[in-house]
Amino acid sequence: MGYDEKKLDEFADSIVTALDLPRAYFFFITEYPRRVIAIGIIFILIAASFIPSLVKDTTVDAFVHPENVTIQYRDKVKDLFGLKDPILIAVTGDTENAIYQPASLKAVRELTEAISRIDNIDPNKVMSLSTEMSIRGTETDLFVDPLIPEGPITAESAQVTLERVTKMPLYLGNLVTDDGSATLIVAEVLDQRIAGQTYEAILEYVDGRAPENYAIHVAGASAVDGYFSTYIDKDSRQTLPFTLVVIIVMMFLAFRTPRSVGLPLFVIVGTVSGTIGTMAAFGIPYYAITSALPIILVGISVADSIHVLTYYYTEQKAHPERTSRELVVSACSQVWRPLVLTSLTTMIGFLGIAITAIMPPMVWFSVFAFLGVFIALVLTLTILPAALSLCKPLPCKAITEGEKGGLVARCLSRVSILAIEHPALVNGAAVITIVVGMIGVGNLTVEREAVNNFRENEPIRIANALINDRFNGTTYLDVVIEAPEEGGLYEPENLQKMEALQSFLENLRHIKGSVSIVDYLKQLNKALNADDQTYYVVPEDRDLIEQLFLVHSATGDPTDFEEEVDPSFQTALIRATLNTSLYSEVSSTVKTAEAYITRTFADDSITATLSGRATLDHNWISPLKSGHFKSLGVSIILIWIAAVFLFRSVLAGTITLVPVAVAILMIYAVMGSLGIWLEPATSMFAPIAIGVGVDFSIHTVEKIRLYTRKQGLSLREAMERIAFRSGRALFFNFASIFLGFGVLLFSELPTLNRFGGLTTVALASAYVMALIVLPALIATLNTERVFKPMGRRAVAATATLLLASMTFILMPNDVWAQETQEGRALAERIAARPEAENVDQIITMVLTDRKGRTKERTARMLRKVGEDQRRSIIAFSKPANIKDTAFMTHDYNESTKSDNQWLYLPALRRSRRISASDRGDYFLGTDFTYEDIKDSTKFSLTDYHFSSDGTEEIGGIAYTVLTLTPVSEAIAKELGYSKVRVAVDAENAMPVQAQYWDVSGNSLKTIQLQDRIVQDGFWTVQTIIASNHKTGHRTEFRISNIDYALDLSLSTFTERKLRSGL
Amino acid sequence: MYHRPMVLGALFWAHAPNVCAQDLDVSVTAETRYAYGTQSGNSQSAELEIRPAWELTLSDQWLFQGEVRFRTDAFDRLEVGRPDQSSIDPISRRDLIGKTTEIEVREAFFQYADDWTSIRLGKQQIVWGRADGIKVLDIVNPQSFREFILDDFDQSRTPLWSIMVERTILNLDFQVFWIFDQTFNEAPPAGSIFEITAPEFVPTFLPPASHPIAFGAIDKPGNRFGDSEFGFQVSGLVGDWDFSLNYFHTFEDTPFFDLDVRSELLTLTPRFNRVDVLGLSFANAWGHFTLRGEATFTFGENIPIAIQPGVTHAPVEADVAKYVLGIDYVGIPDTFISAQFFQQIRLNKVQQPSAALTPNIEDITTLLVRHDLDDGDWTLELQWLANHDSMDGLIRAHVSHQLDDNAEITIGGDFFYGRDDGVFGQFSEADRIAVTYSHIF
């Protein structure tokens, strides 16, 4: 049935007018203004009371999910070896061997002692020439002595130090430069969060203590991060007052009345305190990028207030006889709709970022920006009208020139009319901007270097460059080596594998050196062979290796190797040093190392896992670019949907987006041409451009629609009126935040300069586009066409289409991973591999945690394979605390039918239906998920895409590699895996090893299928080992008493059987 | 003289060493618990429980399973004095040693099980239903209210001498059982910490009785065969839905009080009401959610009403429907969240509605949140039961730590709130914190 859109609109308007709910609402608010203000103040005070408890987290850890394997292993390195990112103090001379002089060595000794006493420095983890030992020997004796002989430092003892260091190659580059001109003091901090203060304390101490002809420099990743946090705090304290002053001045210029400054300030303070206070109340930390949040909120709350005040004063000008309350109600009744609409679209934009962002700080930033916009709206529509109604109506000098407006309004009007008169010119310029922007996107580089956040002449930046140049470097790449059993790292082949890895790493361009227990072992071997260099190798005999360490323990300090290997010789650390902290170089080094480890550590012996600052940087910065574009894309699509619904026109919705889109592209163009990196700080311009920029558009388009369609004005007349009312408000809104952000250009921090510069360009672009391009576009397309309402069905269809596109964007890239024919064929062969129809077996499970503690369980498993399904029950018999616990599953072949699972708990004496989506949960403390438990030797054909991935050698045999990628993000989440890499014995379609990656893409676990035999014609695995790389936990299934000859029936796999035991 | 179950337990204990080792699985659970009343400021209990259990495999199909519970308490506050056990069938009674020590056979049955059939004969628990913490369909075994509902149901449920046969036919489990053990709910004696005082469970006079009141001896059904109970259940999977249909011919486990006026003396005799119960249960799972439910329809259930001398001489009966709906959510890693809604609806009008001690419709909601840490070695559990009619409830918070495979320690508190005449509120003085250590040998 057809209907007339216009009549419907008129009908809706008549209902609204009859009811006039907004007017009733503002009458209510102004009826009890003091109560409303009191409630608002109470809210602000309550929220603000939480601000002192706000936790700051400016570490890079914050950008990585806490369960990320790199964080886990970084903590493991900290726990086991006590190593983190240290502060480095370099004592440098100008000549060769300058450091082996009494004056410099004395300075090193004094500095070491003094630094150990500084707060937040771990006194047991300060390493320098005065703390480290030399290992030397004869054929019969081993000597472990301090590098600097004890007692007063003389020319002779300095010479001894030179000789001892020269014989210990592992110190060269790490502790002393190869030419002996400089040395390092390496100090571990206890609490990274206050590393900035520690850095300053060290800086203060070393000031003026350098011996003549020597210099002292302080740097290191820990110092850089910590100092950056302190630096940004100081800088904010300097720039924020200027920002406020700029805004106050602009507000005063806009209306020239005290209330027009005081009331918006109140809304600003309320919005910022309410948002930051709520953040503190929920325990969400204040991250480095959160610094941009107050600025956005200031921008948005100023905008809201300016619009209300403009309408208020305009009403006052038109109706000087009215009371304050009448003026407020009248002004607010006109302005509430655009305010709500712009706030909603801005909130939707932030929502899009929140749901797509990967890094926790970005997510929380968007969530609280969303909340802040809401609070600003609420305060603007409650406290502001309430407070205005209490003020006496005073004329505003700034709005005194009737419908022709003031200077600002006249300028705006002329510019808009010019755009309408020359639309081709304006549109052409916009198209050129878009093209240049697209080129800029192509040139956009993701890059970051923490030290680049400081000015070039900043001492920390100079020190960092010096250490990277003269020593091995300031960035650490750690590799954690783990053997399956205690003492495993005494095995020569394992140590040789570590040596090979070190050698590989040291040949990489940016790795200048590495240290591990292997270096000390070689030194010991050489020392006990009269310092013969030919013995600087890993001995071939395990007993000899153990003896060498035994001899050392008799002579040296038992803690000498605590930073290299754990006391049980099961876990060791290789610490390689990079002479760069530039993300692209660090990332390429990490990727190369990762590929080597995957290739060479795939067998059953020791495992290697990358950690350290380099890996952390690689992991958290890598997803920045894709995450940035994804968030932006989703956010823009959501705003587009909102605008299409708002104006009930695809064309009007699209036009609304043009200023924002062009502004963002303009930024890319600037970044691309000036070589500005896309890094976390610069990437934050996008939400600001969206948050503030879209307001300009919505206000303008909404008013054009109102004046042309509903009031019948021409576009030209509409633009004149807009210039007088909204345009003027928009100008002062733009000017105040433009100048507010502009203050950042005077910041001490280059990062903030870039951020401020980009943001002002984004704001200016969005404003100019709204002012010029929007009218030009509408003039070109004709207002009738632009605002012609779509039918409701068309709106719904458009929304569905747009949502579908967004879903497409949100889908993980893996979904589009190509499945290969070979991969699918092999997967089908695995699935079709004959398996016994009836299985009865005993499984002994041995669970071993990171500390080597074991638990043992015994269970009996029955399985029946039917035509369309298989059913199994696992019932535990030992230990006593889980005796009779049983798990039953009905697993259907048909992909659309979900599996059914039950768990029988003897304490409840009944079985419980459990969710099949629990299949990604771990089964009773093992490292197998419920899905793995069903059958570790087969993989669901419907859950994954399969692709062939070459071959891999395990234990000297080449196996075909199959890569499994979940078919959807939902399935990946259900399974808990984003990828599985399976080595398959292609001859009998039997997997031998499967490596799993978690949903964040980090290495999760490896399952090995060993002791494969053929029993009764079926390939059978007798040992299955799952090793979790995140937790260090390991589960071994030993399968025995296997019987395929019994005759089971599917029908008997019921809850009765689960209850009555097997 | 009746057969003493203790003899049976002792018999198996004595013969255990003679049985071939691989056929006999013996375990002993030792549990100590100390509970401190936070309202009263006194210790509630300091108990030691030792529960030896035997599983004697006689053949591939036959086994004997037994468990005995020795329990001693340093205080005599949970069951003051020597309970008379009058609601317990003599064949199921505990052996009391003094006021604070008891021995009870918790389990003693022979089981036959093959792929299709299970038979259990002996003292056992038969558990129906799918609800947690609320009993709608779990009505086969009576319950001891020594600690109200704070003890594990496994330990507070009173096992009964019975025969149960189960048979799987066409994917469906058919169960039929016969109970020849006339045991009913057991309430703690007067003066005990968890003495039941809520009007709906004790004789309540309206207006207050004007004559002296005397309690007659409990009048239990006397015919072991004629007054025995039997039940039937068919359960299985239809589509993806677990379901069960149940029928139980039983006595209500809570007595009604029959009033007799003899020469100015009001005599109250606790008697038991014979009822038929129809029931059903269901469960299904989607994504991270599991939906569970169970319902019963009881024909002629006794309705607790205030006793009005001269008016009330017989139990007031009404058909009653009860149901509980529960949703479990496991979408948060290592966390189990479960919410339940229980409703009891009286389907017939009571003749004197003003005398009814319970509303026509009664609602209870429960919430359970359990979170595992450190691979399940630590468990945090918070449970909240709220009765929305009497505005009372119970909050339970516990932390358990699995020290190793055999040892566990639990620390927690149970806190009641609400009106003194409410199901939960009546125990508002019984709040407690308790620590339990259990070890399995």
Question: In the predicted model, is pLDDT for residue B51 greater than 90?
Answer: yes
Please tell me which residue of chain A has the smallest CA distance to B282.
Answer: A913
B440 contacts A880? CB cut-off 8 A: yes
B285 CB neighbours in chain A (<8 A) are 898, 900-901, 913-917
Distance CA B52, CA B107 (A): 11
Q: Does A851 touch chain B (CB under 8 A)?
A: no
A783-787, B250-254, B256-260: range with highest mean pLDDT: B250-254
- Residue B10, pLDDT score: 37
CB contact under 8 A, B285 and A916: yes
What are the tens digits of pLDDT across the range A262-299?
888 889 889 999 999 898 888 888 887 787 788 778 87
Name the residue among B25, B116, B330 with its Cβ closest to that of A918. Answer: B330
Alpha helices (H) along A195-291: 195-206, 221-255, 259-281
Contacts of B288 in chain A (CB under 8 A): 915, 917-918
Crossing angle of helices A542-555 and A492-506, in 10° steps, is 80
Query: Which residue from B129, B285, B405 is facing A913, i.e. has the nearest CB?
Result: B285
Could you read off the pLDDT of A601-645 as tens digits, one per residue?
866 678 888 888 888 888 878 777 777 887 788 888 888 888 887
User: By CA distance, what is A878's nearest residue in B?
Assistant: B405
In terms of DSSP H, where are the helices of A811-952?
821-832, 930-934
Cβ-nearest to B173 among A901, A912, A1056: A1056
Nearest to B405 among A849, A881, A902 (CB): A881
Residue B16 reports pLDDT greater than 50: no
Q: B333 pLDDT band (50/70/90 cuts)?
A: confident
CB of A1049 within 8 Å of any CB in chain B? yes
A915: chain B residues, CB-CB within 8 Å: 285-290, 328, 330
Does the CB of A1056 have a partner CB in chain B at under 8 Å? yes
Sort out which chain A residues have CB atoms less than 8 A from B113's CB and list them: 1060-1061
Q: Tokens 């009005």 map to which residue?
A: B308
Mean of the per-residue pLDDT values for chain B? 85
pLDDT tens digit sequence for A419-463 = 888 888 888 888 888 888 777 777 777 888 877 778 888 888 888
Return the residue matching tokens 């993806």. Answer: B240
CB contact under 8 A, B285 and A900: yes
Q: How far is residue A652's CA from residue A778's CA, in Å, rounded to a whole number?
A: 9
Which CATH number describes the domain made up of B5-440? 2.40.160.10
Between the CA of residue A167 and those of A78, A135, A161, A577, what are the distances in Å? 29, 8, 10, 21
∠ at Cα A1055 (A1050, A1056), nearest 5°? 90
Q: Closest Cα to residue A1043, out of A912, A864, A871? A: A864
Whether A857 contacts A844, CB under 8 Å? yes
Is A1052 an 8 Å CB contact of chain B?
yes
User: B246 exposed, middle or buried (CB, 10 Å; 0-12, 13-18, 19+)?
Assistant: buried
Across B330-360, where does the E strand assignment appear? 335-346
- The residue ranking higher by pLDDT, A995 or A816, is A995
- The answer to whether the Cβ–Cβ distance between A900 and B118 falls below 8 Å is no
How many degrees, rounded to 5, is the angle at CA A366 between CA A364 and CA A368? 70
CB proximity A1023 to B under 8 Å: no
B329 to chain A, closest Cα gap in Å: 8
- CB within 8 Å: A909 and B154: yes
A917 touches chain B (CB under 8 A): yes
For chain A, the domains span 5-55+228-446+623-808, 821-1060
* CB contact A881 to B (< 8 Å): yes
Q: Which of B27, B115, B153 has its CB closest to that of A1052?
A: B115
DSSP helix/strand/coil, A62: helix
pLDDT at A469 over 60: yes
Count of Cβ atoms closer than 10 Å to residue A817 Cβ: 18
> Tell me: the pLDDT tens digits for B289-328?
899 999 999 998 888 877 776 665 566 788 899 999 999 9
What digits encode the pLDDT tens for the residues A109-157?
Answer: 999 999 988 888 888 888 899 888 888 777 677 778 888 988 888 888 8
Q: Give B173's contacts in chain A (Cβ within 8 Å).
A: 1054-1056
Do A901 and B376 make contact, defined as CB atoms within 8 angstroms? no
**pLDDT over 60 (residue A908):** yes
Residues of B in contact with A1057 (CB under 8 A): 115, 168
Closest Cβ–Cβ partner in B113, B152, B375 for A1061: B113
Q: Over pLDDT 70: what percentage of chain A? A: 91
Q: Is B314 exposed, middle or buried (0-12, 13-18, 19+ CB in 10 A)?
A: exposed
Residue A602 pLDDT: 67
pLDDT digits (tens, 9 = 90+) for A574-588: 999 998 888 888 888
B111 and A855 within 8 Å at the Cβ level: the answer is: no
Cβ contacts below 8 Å, chain A against chain B, sum to 109
What's the complex ipTM?
0.87
Give the model's pLDDT for residue A917. Answer: 59
Give the distance from residue A513's alpha carbon to the nearest chain B alpha carbon, in angstroms: 37
Q: Residue B329: closest CA among chain A residues belongs to which residue?
A: A915
Distance of CA B266 to the CA centre of its chain: 31
In this predicted model, what pLDDT tens digit does every residue of A1028-1057 receive, in sequence order? 877 778 899 999 999 988 888 888 888 888
- Residue B72 bridge partners (DSSP): B48, B101
Instruction: Give the closest of A849, A882, A1060 to B113, CB-based.
Output: A1060
Cβ–Cβ gap A913/B130 under 8 Å:
yes
- Cβ <8 Å between A909 and B125: yes
Residue B77's identity, in one-letter code, is R
According to the model, what pLDDT value does residue A137 have?
A: 76
Superfamily of domain A821-1060: Lipoprotein localisation LolA/LolB/LppX (2.50.20.10)
Stretch 418-457 of chain A: residues touching chain B, C-beta under 8 Å: none
Q: What is the pLDDT of residue B354?
A: 66
Q: Which of A914, A1031, A1060 has its CB closest to that of B118?
A: A1060
CATH T-level fold of A5-55+228-446+623-808: Multidrug efflux transporter AcrB transmembrane fold (1.20.1640)
Ordered by start, the domain boundaries in chain B are 5-440
**Hey, what's the torsion of the CAs at B135, B140, B141, B142, to 10 degrees?**
60
The first and second tokens of residue A881, run together, are: 């605390």
**Does A968 contact B at CB distance below 8 Å?**
no
CB distance A916–B328 less than 8 Å? no
A846 at interface of B, judged by CB pairs closer than 8 A: no
pLDDT tens profile B160-178: 999 999 999 888 999 999 9
- Does residue A82 carry a pLDDT above 80? no
Closest by Cβ to B170, choosing from A855, A883, A1051: A1051
Asked if B127 and A910 touch (Cβ cutoff 8 Å), the reply is yes
For residue B106, pLDDT beyond 90? yes
Q: Please check the confidence at residue A896 and state whether its pLDDT lies above 70.
A: no
Q: Is B289 within 8 Å of A915 when comparing Cβ atoms?
A: yes
**Nearest residue on chain A to B115, alpha-carbon basis:** A1052
